[in-house]
Amino acid sequence: MKEPGETFQAILAGCGAMSREWLRCAQELGIEVAALVDVSPEAAEARGKEFNLTGPIFRALPEAIAAVPAEILFDCTIPAAHLEVSGTGLRSGLNVLEEKPLALDLPGALELVRLAETAGRLHVVQQNRRFKRGIRRLRQMIESRAIGDVTTVHVDFFIGAHFGGFRDKMRHVLLADMAIHPFDAARFLVQADGESVYCEEWTPANSWYEHGSSVVAIFRMTNGVRFSYRASWCSEGFRTAWDANWRVIGTEGTLWWDGESEVRGERVRPVPGALLYETDAILLEGEPDPALTRGHFSVMKQFVDALRGGPAPETRSSDNFHSLAMVLAAIQSAETGQRAALATL
C-alpha cells in the first residue's frame, strides 16, 4: 500500500480519443503514466507528445508489463479487447481501471470478476455518469427521506444522434451502446439491482440506424421498485439532455431532474376531501461532495484512494457486473419477446 504523496506508476493501453480524458485525470491525481500501448504506435506517440510523456511505447501489453515496474493498468481499449487486456493486467498482478463496458457478455464479465478476486487486485470500471451533480443530488434527496420510500423511477431519453460509422449498422445499438449509463445510475439511486425486465426495441420508419434505435424497458428491481426506460436515438425535436430526464416517485412526493442542472422536488400535503392534494417544494441545503461529481475524475480518484487503503470504489467490477447484467437481460427480452431474469454473481 502506498502512502499519501507516493507516486503510482501506470501503463495505459489504448490511445484513442477516450484516453485523452484519462490522461488529464491521471495528471491531476499525480499518477505517472510510465508507458503507452497501442496497436498503432503513431497514435500512442501523438498522445504521448500531447501530454509530454517520456515513457516507452509498445504494441503489445505483455511487453510493456515486462519492461515497466507499474502497479496500475488503464484499459482504454475497444470493448472487444477488454477481456484480453484487463485479464492480462490482472493475471500480471496489476490493479486495473477499465473503460466500460466490463465485457461484451456475461461469461467474460464473470471471468474478469473472478480473476480480480483470485489475484487479490483492485478492478474498477470507468462508469462515469453516476458521478454527476444531478444524480448525486437526487440521491441526497432520497437519503433525506424527502419523498418517503421510492416506488418508481422513470427515465426518458430522446436524441436524434447522427453519429455515422459503425453505430448505423450495430445490433441493439441503443441498448448496447448507451443504456448502461442510466441503468447503472438507477441502481445507484435506488440502491438495488435489477431482478427481471421486459423490453421491446424497434426501428422507426425515419431511423438511420439499422437495428434497435428505439426502446421501451421496464425493470423490476430487487427491492420492489419499478424502473422504466423510454429511449430513442432517432427522435428529432424536443430532445432531452444526454443524461436523460428523470422522475423519481416516492410514497410522499416526487423528484425531477432535467438531466442537466435543474433538480427539483415536491412533497405532498394532503387536503381532506380534495381531489388533488397540494404539494410543497422540497428545499435541501448543501451540495454533493464535489469529488463525487466530476465524472471520469471521480472514478479514478476512488480507484486511487482505495489503493491507498480507502473504501472500495462504487464501480468495482463485482458491482458493475449488475449494471451490465441489466443491459444483457434487456437485449435477451427484446430478442425473445419474453420477460428475462437477470444474471447474478
Q: Indicate whether 86 and 175 sit together in one domain.
A: no
Q: Indicate whether 197 and 244 sit together in one domain.
A: yes
Residue 114's Cβ-count burial label (10 Å; 0-12, 13-18, 19+) is middle
Assign residue 72 the CATH number of its domain: 3.40.50.720
Q: Give the per-residue pLDDT at 147.
A: 98
Q: Indicate whether 158 and 275 sit together in one domain.
A: yes
| Domain contains 298 | no
| Domain contains 280 | yes
- Which pLDDT tens digit goes with each residue over 27-54? 999 999 999 999 999 999 999 999 999 9
Q: Indicate whether 86 and 183 sit together in one domain.
A: no
Q: Give the per-residue pLDDT at 6.
A: 80
Q: Map residue 92 onto helix, strand or coil.
A: coil
Q: Give the per-residue pLDDT at 300.
A: 99
- Which pLDDT tens digit goes with each residue over 124-142? 999 999 999 999 999 999 9
Placement of cell 483470485 in the chain: 118
How many domains does the chain divide into? 2
Q: Give the per-residue pLDDT at 275.
A: 98
The answer to whether 62 touches 89, Cβ cutoff 8 Å, is: no
| CA distance linking residue 22 with residue 15, whole number of Å | 10
| Domain contains 297 | no
| Domain contains 314 | no
- What is the pLDDT of the chain when averaged over all its residues? 97
Label residue 345 by pLDDT band (50, 70, 90).
confident
Q: Indicate whether 225 and 81 sit together in one domain.
A: no
Across the chain, where does the E strand assignment appear?
9-13, 32-37, 57-58, 72-75, 95-99, 123-126, 150-158, 194-202, 214-221, 226-232, 245-250, 253-257, 263-269, 278-281, 340-341
Assign residue 195 the CATH number of its domain: 3.30.360.10
pLDDT for residue 4 is more than 70:
no
The cell for 202 is 424497434
Q: Give the per-residue pLDDT at 285.
A: 83
pTM given for the model: 0.94
The cell for 27 is 495528471
Q: Indicate whether 73 and 115 sit together in one domain.
A: yes
Q: Indicate whether 207 and 248 sit together in one domain.
A: yes
Among 103, 121, 139, which residue terminates a domain?
121
The helix, strand and coil proportions of the chain, stated in percent and rounded to the nearest 5, come to: 35, 25, 40
Q: Which residues of 50-87 are buried (b: 16+ CB within 10 A; e: fewer)?
A: eeebebbbbeebeebbeebebbbbbbbbeeebbbebbb
- Which pLDDT tens digit goes with each residue over 266-296? 999 999 999 999 999 999 888 999 999 999 9
Q: Indicate whether 135 and 84 sit together in one domain.
A: no
The answer to whether 81 touches 99, Cβ cutoff 8 Å, is: no
- Which pLDDT tens digit goes with each residue over 301-324? 999 999 999 999 999 999 999 999
Over range 82-92, report the average pLDDT: 98
Of 81, 130, 144, 179, the residue nearest 319 (C-alpha): 130
**Domain that includes residue 21, residue range:** 9-121
Portion of the chain with pLDDT greater than 70, in percent = 99
- Which pLDDT tens digit goes with each residue over 150-197? 999 999 999 999 999 989 999 999 999 999 999 999 999 999 999 999
Q: Indicate whether 110 and 150 sit together in one domain.
A: no
Q: Map residue 86 onto helix, strand or coil.
A: helix
pLDDT for residue 2 is more than 80:
no
- Which pLDDT tens digit goes with each residue over 203-242? 999 999 999 999 999 999 999 999 999 999 999 999 999 9
Torsion of CA 285, 289, 293, 299, to 10 degrees: -150
Q: Give the per-residue pLDDT at 88.
A: 98
Q: Give the per-residue pLDDT at 1.
A: 60
| Domain contains 181 | yes
| Domain contains 316 | no
Q: How far is Cα of residue 278 from the mean position of the Cα atoms in its chain?
A: 37
| Domain contains 37 | yes
Of 18, 82, 122, the residue nearest 324 (C-alpha): 82
Q: Indicate whether 109 and 234 sit together in one domain.
A: no
Q: Indicate whether 188 and 216 sit together in one domain.
A: yes
pLDDT for residue 5 is more than 80:
no
Q: Which residues of 296-332 are buried (b: 16+ CB within 10 A; e: fewer)?
A: bbbbbbbbbbbbeeeeebbbbbbbbbbbbbbbbbbbb
Among 121, 144, 175, which residue terminates a domain?
121
| Domain contains 67 | yes
Among 88, 121, 154, which residue terminates a domain?
121
pLDDT for residue 101 is more than 90:
yes
Q: Indicate whether 35 and 178 sit together in one domain.
A: no
